[in-house]
């Protein structure tokens, strides 16, 4: 049998390769270089793990995720692969043991942090053993274009000079065209074959809702669709992270905070509970989650607008690695746009840098405001064309557009008049009060009831006006002034709207608090097991939790949900039956086979 296939079956317990895995693996086994772009959860790890096992020597994996190396090694050890890591968390004795094992040719895989590989000493040490291949994980970290640049990655270009005959495979889940080019150039992968996968993650339902009370909206979303599920909530500031975790916690959700301001021990504790316990929600700044290989994250929520589509897609990709239905939920509003524009204006970088950030934000806003399929928009960003997906909010609940030209003119002329007649600038709240003719201490104090546009916008409610302002900002027909107060000013594009030579199509603001059809669709898909299998599945999860606790490893290292599901449905009665189930290879059959059969036998069919 083909050696790659036999490792897949015997060791990992899977019966077939996914997507381009087989081609990639064969190419690397044959000594070729590869650049692999594959979305999160598609199965990048096997692409270097199997060649490392099949080829002579040790596969050296460069990964920035020191905190996860232990889990990666545990997962490999659990299936009988000889793996180890070298990083700064180990004491000298442990390091010496690992080094000894490597030199003796006793390792299939060795994980190394990039900063370590840039040391001459490490390179000399590696040269004394036999290297099967280099795998450069999270390869986008080499690119300054990307969102995760790490200077240590630049030193990896030397690998090509020093070991010209050792195949190198660079892998990432996030690369636009520019990043892809950068990876290839900086890592000297000129002769590599490129494998670019379909970036679609069809099991993730994309939804973007307009923001009014973000924490309450989030809680409602979790309660209605993901009670008891593991999830990640992203927020931009530490304060918001802490408040949101506390809010969820006080409403019965097991929620833990994670941000860069916490000491590393508490961060490690949060990460470890997230991986090891069922149903933990982590509320985090973007620092959390890269490379976290937890397959059963059921939702990723953003309560602040992400800064770029690239990062957003990678973050949402952490949901549903096991292929089961999952949700990517984002809430976004006017304040997000104002705040991010302000952040860009006051950022310390040069003009080119600000332009780049601005372009990133524009793409993100276009995604939020689209009337079309979210997925079509997302995939187009990564250069992939697709048809409407049927599994995003705009597909499930089509939004109507409306001609907002007149509304836009009313708003813009208020801005112009304030500026021209009074030399004043205001933020969205005051402009909306003027348009709606609302007498407040602030409108009266400024005598704004004497403006020609006073009260001319009564046909729209406050929420709808906020939608108009937000969308004009998103379209660049209105701008946030760089005075630091978030006041609004016109732009070049405003002139055409005011002159009537350009019309403005806007997204209708949904009525508040209606539960969409999308919500129902997500729920139904998640409850897809027949009743008796569902209760056996729960039983198996309890058993798995005990095993994980005893061995102090994450539950998924014992078995993934997909495997437990298959066991619950098929009710295997013998070890032979068990060995046909996905995720059960020789080693796991030996470790757990008898116990699994007992759990099944004890459960009434
Ligand atoms: P990535 O690194 O691309 O995010 P992983 O390598 O972590 O993805 O794989 C995601 C999940 O899919 C893992 O649980 C892995 O065991 C599983 N997987 C990968 N390849 C296969 C396959 N050919 N058959 C079944 N499951 C697979
Ligand atoms: Zn869609």
35 forms beta bridges with 170, 194
Ligand nearest to the CA of 18: 1
Q: Which residue has the higher pLDDT, 321 or 292?
A: 321
Contact predicate 51/131, CB 8 Å: no
Query: Looking at the whole model, is its pTM more than 0.85?
Result: no
Cα 43 to ligand 1 centroid, rounded to whole Å: 4
Q: 421 in a domain, yes or no?
A: yes
Cα 141 to ligand 1 centroid, rounded to whole Å: 21
For residue 298, pLDDT beyond 60? yes
268 and 160 part of one domain: no
Strands 204-210 and 255-258, bridge-based pairing: unpaired
* 521 — pLDDT class (breaks 50, 70, 90): very low
Q: Cα separation of 211 and 335, whole Å?
A: 9
Q: Cα separation of 16 and 11, whole Å?
A: 13
Q: 489: how many CB neighbours lie within 10 A of its CB?
A: 16
Give SS3 for 600.
helix
End-to-end CA distance of the chain: 37
* 146 — pLDDT class (breaks 50, 70, 90): low
* 291 — pLDDT class (breaks 50, 70, 90): low
Q: 479 in a domain, yes or no?
A: yes
Q: How far is CA 319 from CA 282, 322, 324, 375, 600, in A?
A: 13, 9, 9, 15, 29
Contact predicate 193/27, CB 8 Å: yes
Q: 513 in a domain, yes or no?
A: no
For residue 367, pLDDT beyond 60? yes
Q: 1: how many CB neighbours lie within 10 A of its CB?
A: 8
For residue 336, pLDDT beyond 50? yes
Q: Which residue has the higher pLDDT, 544 or 524?
A: 544
* 511 — pLDDT class (breaks 50, 70, 90): low
56 and 106 part of one domain: yes
| Enclosing domain of residue 250 | 204-396
Closest residue (by CA) to atom 16 of ligand 1?
Answer: 43
Span of 27-36, 174-183, 249-258, 397-406 with lowest mean pLDDT: 174-183
91 and 188 part of one domain: yes
Span of 77-91, 227-241, 333-347 with lowest mean pLDDT: 333-347
Contact predicate 111/69, CB 8 Å: yes
Q: 521 in a domain, yes or no?
A: no
Atom number of ligand 1 nearest to Cα 18: 23
Closest residue (by CA) to atom 17 of ligand 1?
Answer: 43
Atom number of ligand 1 nearest to Cα 295: 14
Cα 316 to ligand 1 centroid, rounded to whole Å: 17
- Last residue of a domain, which of 171, 196, 221? 196
For residue 97, pLDDT beyond 70? yes
392 and 420 part of one domain: no
Cα 516 to ligand 1 centroid, rounded to whole Å: 32
Closest residue (by CA) to atom 15 of ligand 1?
Answer: 43
**Does ligand 1 have an atom closer than 6 angstroms to the CB of 556?**
no
366 and 218 part of one domain: yes
Q: Which residue has the higher pLDDT, 463 or 231?
A: 231
Q: What are phi and psi of 283, to 5 degrees?
A: -105, 120
For residue 38, pLDDT beyond 70? yes
99 and 15 part of one domain: yes
Q: How far is CA 126 from CA 80, 122, 180, 443, in A?
A: 23, 6, 28, 72
- Output the domain CATH number for residue 282: 3.40.50.300
126 and 261 part of one domain: no
261 and 377 part of one domain: yes
Span of 47-51, 129-133, 321-325 with lowest mean pLDDT: 321-325
276 and 416 part of one domain: no
Q: What are phi and psi of 582, to 5 degrees?
A: -60, 135
Strands 109-112 and 478-480, bridge-based pairing: unpaired
Supply the pLDDT for residue 111: 97
Closest residue (by CA) to atom 13 of ligand 1?
Answer: 43
283 and 305 part of one domain: yes
Closest residue (by CA) to atom 20 of ligand 1?
Answer: 43
Q: 519 in a domain, yes or no?
A: no
Supply the pLDDT for residue 110: 98
Span of 244-258, 333-347, 490-504 with lowest mean pLDDT: 333-347
171 and 256 part of one domain: no
For residue 66, pLDDT beyond 90? no
Q: Which residue has the higher pLDDT, 456 or 529?
A: 456
* 604 — pLDDT class (breaks 50, 70, 90): confident
Mean of per-residue pLDDT scores for the chain = 90
Looking at the 3D structure of the chain, how many domains does it have?
4
Supply the pLDDT for residue 510: 64
The continuous run of DSSP H or E covering 7 comes out as helix 3-10
For residue 293, pLDDT beyond 80? no
Q: 173 in a domain, yes or no?
A: yes
Cα 54 to ligand 1 centroid, rounded to whole Å: 18
From 24, 25, 39, 45, mutation site for ligand 1 pocket: most ligand atoms within 8 A of C-beta: 45
């Amino acid at each position: 049998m083909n050696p790659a296939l036999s490792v897949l079956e015997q060791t990992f317990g899977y019966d077939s390769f996914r997507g381009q895995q087989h081609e990639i693996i064969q190419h690397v086994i044959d000594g070729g270089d590869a650049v692999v772009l594959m979305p999160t959860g598609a199965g990048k790890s096997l692409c270097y793990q199997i060649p490392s096992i099949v080829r002579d020597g040790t596969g050296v994996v460069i990964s920035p995720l020191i905190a996860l190396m232990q889990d990666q090694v545990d997962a490999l050890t659990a299936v009988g692969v000889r793996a180890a890591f070298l990083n700064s968390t180990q004491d000298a004795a442990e390091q010496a043991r690992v080094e000894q094992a490597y030199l003796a040719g006793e390792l299939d895989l060795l994980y190394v942090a990039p900063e370590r590989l840039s040391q001459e000493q490490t390179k000399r040490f590696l040269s004394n053993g036999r290297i099967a291949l280099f795998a450069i994980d999270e390869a986008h970290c080499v690119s300054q274009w990307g969102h995760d640049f790490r200077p240590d990655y630049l030193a990896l270009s030397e690998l090509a000079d020093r070991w010209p005959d050792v195949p190198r495979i660079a892998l990432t889940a996030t690369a636009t065209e520019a990043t892809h080019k950068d990876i290839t150039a900086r890592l000297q992968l000129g002769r590599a074959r490129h494998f670019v996968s379909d970036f679609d993650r069809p099991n993730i339902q994309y939804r973007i809702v307009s923001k009014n009370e973000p924490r309450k909206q989030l809680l409602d979303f979790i309660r209605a669709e993901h009670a008891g599920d593991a999830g990640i909530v992203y927020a931009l500031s530490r304060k918001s992270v802490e408040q949101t975790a506390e809010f969820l916690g006080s409403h019965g959700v097991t929620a833990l905070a994670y941000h860069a301001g916490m000491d590393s021990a508490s961060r490690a504790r949060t990460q470890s509970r997230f991986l090891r316990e069922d149903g933990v929600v982590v509320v985090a700044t973007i620092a959390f989650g890269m490379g976290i290989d937890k397959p059963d994250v059921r939702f990723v929520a953003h309560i602040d607008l992400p800064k770029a589509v690239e990062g957003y897609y990678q973050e949402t990709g952490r949901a549903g690695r096991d292929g089961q239905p999952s949700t990517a939920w984002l809430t976004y509003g006017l304040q997000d746009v104002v705040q991010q524009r302000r952040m860009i204006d006051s950022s310390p970088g040069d003009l080119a840098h600000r332009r780049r950030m601005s372009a990133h934000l524009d793409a993100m806003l276009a995604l939020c405001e689209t009337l079309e399929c979210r997925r079509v928009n997302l995939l187009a960003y990564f250069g992939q064309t697709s048809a409407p997906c049927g599994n995003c909010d705009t597909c499930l609940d089509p939004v109507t557009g409306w001609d907002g030209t007149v509304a836009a003119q009313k708003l813009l002329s208020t801005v112009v008049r304030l500026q021209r007649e009074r030399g004043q600038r205001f933020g969205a709240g005051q402009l909306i009060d003027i348009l709606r003719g609302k007498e407040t201490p602030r409108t009266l104090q400024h005598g704004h009831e004497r403006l020609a546009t006073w009260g001319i916008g009564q046909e729209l409610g406050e929420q709808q006006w906020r939608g108009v302002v937000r969308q004009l900002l998103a379209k660049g027909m209105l701008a946030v002034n760089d005075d630091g107060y978030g006041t609004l000013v016109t732009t070049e594009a405003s002139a055409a709207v005011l002159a009537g030579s350009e019309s403005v199509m806007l997204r209708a603001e949904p009525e508040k608090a209606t539960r969409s059809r999308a919500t129902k669709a997500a729920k139904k898909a998640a409850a897809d097991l027949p009743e008796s299998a569902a209760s056996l599945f729960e039983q198996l999860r309890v058993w798995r939790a005990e095993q994980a606790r005893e061995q102090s490893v994450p539950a998924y290292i014992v078995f993934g949900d997909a495997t437990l599901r298959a066991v619950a449905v098929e009710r295997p009665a013998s070890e032979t039956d068990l060995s046909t189930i996905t995720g059960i290879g020789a080693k796991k059959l030996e470790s757990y086979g008898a116990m699994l059969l007992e759990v099944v036998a004890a459960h009434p069919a």
